[in-house]
Amino acid sequence: MIAEAPAAPVIDARDVTIRFGRLTAVDGVNLAVGHGEVFGLLGPNGSGKTTLIRALCGLIPLAGGSARVLGRDAMRESDAVRAGIGYMSQKFALYEDLTAQENLDFYSGIYGLNASQARERQAELVEEVGLAPHLNKRGAHLSGGWKQRLALACALLHRPRLVFLDEPTAGIDPVARRDLWDLLFRLSAQDVTLFVTTHYMDEAERCGRVAYLYLGRLLAMGTPDDLTRWPGVTPAGSRRVEILGDDPAAIFERLRDRAGIGQVTIFGRSVRAVVDAGISDRSLSDELHGAEVRPTWPTLEDVFVTLARAREAGGSS
Amino acid sequence: MNGGGFRRLRAIARKERLHIVRDPSTLFFAVFLPVLELFMLGYAIDTNVRHVRTIVFDEARTQESRSLLLRFTNSEDFRIVGEVFTDRDLAQALVSGRARVGIKIPEAYSRRVQSGRTGQVLILVDGSESSVAAEAVNVGGAIALSESLERLLEGRRMPVEARPRVLFNPDTRSANFFIPGLMVVLCQMMATMLSANAVVREKERGTLEQLFMTPVRAGELILGKMLPYLGLVLAEFCMIGLLMVIGFGVPVHGNFFTLLIIALPFYLSMIGLGLAISTRAQTRDASMQMTIATILPSMFLSGYVFPLDSMPRPFWLLAQAIPTTWMIDVARGVILRGAGWADLWMHAMVLTAQAVVLLAISAVLFRKRLT
């Protein structure tokens, strides 16, 4: 279930394999990201997301395959590639002992902007991310959300056409998270391609396309809608239901080991499960003292859990 | 280097300068600690052996024995701290450390001297401090010799007299000998540690990772980081030089500017060494330990503490490969002997060559780390 490559891709990775000694960190990954896309890369910790980004920036040599970024070879033309990309990491990677303004000045110099270019571009970005009241604060004194906005501003100084965001919203509050995504969509509207890794499913659902990387292998790629409609998520002869009751924990306990019911998870005030066709909604409701049972669609999380379990069981997707 | 390269270099140098100014502990470490060490070491180190604690067992108790003991007292090398009356007490005084030297004049001393036979004097020397022991043996021997000569000559004049004149450091003050070397070594430690820290700190905080994602090149990063620290180290070098003159009264016989110019490649080497360390060390503690590991050989093999001339050949050759050896020689040459370019061009060339090699190695290591 790998979607076909867009024409004239901004990122074109073919069969990318990365090894550290005997460990294969990324194994035969094929992916293409088109102009102006918001592309989400998901996967558990240690699945190779950051390694893949580093390889696309030309920092790690490939053991096999090829990676072209912005039409250039990521490794051999890494200088040109890095001049055209922005990068923002999960960790605040700016200087805490420097003020926001000094960080901006530093990265303006690093990206080779002259004094007037720097002034103009900084003014634009400060306006865009609303950093003006915090320019004279040191990095260490900014809150998580402001740190990330400053990091984003620094990553955009040279007007990159592609920005890598490695878990950009890890550890910041929900309001700041939403603000950051609004900023990202505005960027995307300006034709900037975004390559985002995340743990949050709601963020994945905002992406135009997502890919799921598990233990170095790409297990799925497509739009969130495509992925949730994938028939493999819900096995033949079964359906996905949502059960609403007074005590979700009790329902969970009751269903967890019951024959004919699988993938039981608590989801807020409801319980989600995959139920065999042989069990009707009615009988299930009776069994659970009249709890409401209704059909539901699989979420992206369901899709990824199914894919990961199938992979662990030795199956292939 | 194109315009972008220059702008990147300048941005890094400026940022590094801000780090220096904003980090009071580094600044304190860089500026005051070497000064503190200078005062501690400068006052504590005195290799001249004077006033060695001496215990006397005068069995003879005659005019001759007293005149011999007076010679020991007058030499300034010995200070008589007590008298004992048995061999056991004499030995015990040395074992307990109450005295470093014990002089025993046997009962038969005067009789033997007067009858033309050899009067023997026993000088016991504590060998646990080798410089004191050597000095005591030498001076003890010289005193006996001059006493013998005077007796033989019976008032006639000495046929030969040596008149030693110590050039460049007439009072043989050890501060004059040690402080130029100390100045070199203290600034060396600072150069290596600061430059290693400058990179390791960025590793620890993850900011290096971010820099690697930008078009900045290894050479620009290295040079941009080196320049502010080189400036700081040379400023410190001048400050210690000033303190040496004012605080310790060590006169500078040559041109300090010459010394500063030759110091430039030397401190570049040491900053390069710091960068090489930073490619291996993951934490600042580790880089500190590695720095100290490089400091020790350059203290003990460079002629800073122990004279090069008495080293076994293999170690002497090793010492020639250590930049500190050459730099200390330059510092002593300029400050104490008034040496100039005509005497030091060879040193300058060797130090420059060593800087080129060390910087090339660390640049290669650094670039490898990058990818």
The radius of gyration of chain A's CA atoms, rounded to the nearest angstrom, is 23
Instruction: Say if CB A184 and CB A196 are below 8 A apart.
Output: yes
Instruction: Say if CB A155 and CB A163 are below 8 A apart.
Output: yes
Share above pLDDT 90 across residues of chain A, in percent, rounded to a whole number: 43
Confidence tier at A317 by pLDDT (50, 70, 90)? very low
Q: What is the rounded CA–CA span in Å between residue A211 and residue A2?
A: 9
Closest CA to A33 of A74, A64, A75: A74
CA-nearest residue to B201 within chain A is A95
Cβ–Cβ of A97/B207 closer than 8 Å? no
Instruction: Say if CB B255 and CB B344 are below 8 A apart.
Output: no
Considering only residues 212 to 241 of chain A, which have any Cβ-Cβ distance to chain B shorter than 8 Å? none
Cβ–Cβ of A107/B214 closer than 8 Å? yes
Confidence tier at A1 by pLDDT (50, 70, 90)? very low
Closest CA of chain B from A209, distance in Å:
24
Closest CA to B104 of B143, B69, B67: B69
Confidence tier at A136 by pLDDT (50, 70, 90)? very high
Contacts A162 to B, Cβ<8 Å? none
* Residue B143 structure tokens: 């005193």
**Which of A87, A93, A110 shows the shortest C-beta gap to B11?**
A110
Cβ–Cβ of A106/B11 closer than 8 Å? yes
A95 touches chain B (CB under 8 A): yes
pLDDT number for residue B298: 87
Give chain A's domains with CATH numbers. 11-228 (3.40.50.300), 235-297 (3.30.70.100)
A106 touches chain B (CB under 8 A): yes
**Dihedral angle, C-alpha B242, B246, B248, B249, nearest 10 °:** 110
Q: Where in chain B is the domain with CATH 3.40.1710.10?
A: 52-153
A112 touches chain B (CB under 8 A): yes
- Of A81 and A199, the structure prediction assigns the larger pLDDT to A81
- pLDDT tens, residue by residue, A173-196: 888 888 889 999 999 999 899 999
Residue with tokens 């300058």: B348
Contacts A108 to B, Cβ<8 Å? 11
Q: Average pLDDT by consecutive 10-residue portion of chain B (371 residues)?
A: 81 92 81 84 73 90 89 85 92 90 90 86 87 85 85 80 77 79 91 90 88 87 90 92 89 93 95 90 90 88 84 89 94 92 94 93 77 50
**Which of A61, A79, A164 shows the shortest C-beta gap to B371?**
A61
Q: What is the rounded CA–CA span in Å between residue B299 and residue B325?
A: 9
pLDDT number for residue A257: 84
The radius of gyration of chain B's CA atoms, rounded to the nearest angstrom, is 28
Sequence-ordered list of residues with C-beta below 8 angstroms from that of A114, at least 6 positions apart, any chain: B3, B7
Mutate to test the interface with A, among B8, B15, B25, B204 (most CBs of A within 10 A): B15
Closest CA of chain A from B197, distance in Å:
15
Contacts A112 to B, Cβ<8 Å? 3-5, 7-8, 215
Closest CA of chain B from A81, distance in Å:
8
Instruction: Say if CB B126 and CB B95 are below 8 A apart.
Output: no
- pLDDT tens, residue by residue, A43-60: 888 889 999 999 999 888
CA-nearest residue to A156 within chain B is B214
DSSP per-residue codes, B193-211? HHHHHHHHHHHHHTHHHHH
- The chain B residues in contact with chain A (CB within 8 A) are 3-5, 7-8, 10-12, 14-15, 18-19, 22-23, 205-207, 209-217, 370-371
A111 touches chain B (CB under 8 A): yes
pLDDT number for residue B41: 78
> How far is C-alpha B56 from the geometric centre of its chain's CA atoms?
35
CA-nearest residue to B12 within chain A is A106
Closest CA to B34 of B177, B202, B296, B234: B234
Cβ–Cβ of B18/A114 closer than 8 Å? no
A93 touches chain B (CB under 8 A): yes
pLDDT number for residue A96: 92
Closest CA to B26 of B185, B194, B181: B194
Q: What is the rounded CA–CA span in Å between residue A92 and residue A94?
A: 6
CATH number of B52-153: 3.40.1710.10
Closest CA to A61 of B177, B246, B371, B22: B371
CA-nearest residue to B21 within chain A is A97
Is A316 a residue whose pLDDT tops 50? no
Q: What is the DSSP letter of A132?
A: G
Strand A270-276 relative to strand A238-244, pairing: antiparallel
Cβ–Cβ of B206/A91 closer than 8 Å? yes
Contacts A114 to B, Cβ<8 Å? 3, 7
Contacts B10 to A, Cβ<8 Å? 109
pLDDT number for residue A123: 95
A307 touches chain B (CB under 8 A): no
Q: What is the rounded CA–CA span in Å between residue A278 and residue B286?
A: 65
Closest CA to A317 of A236, A214, A224, A232: A232
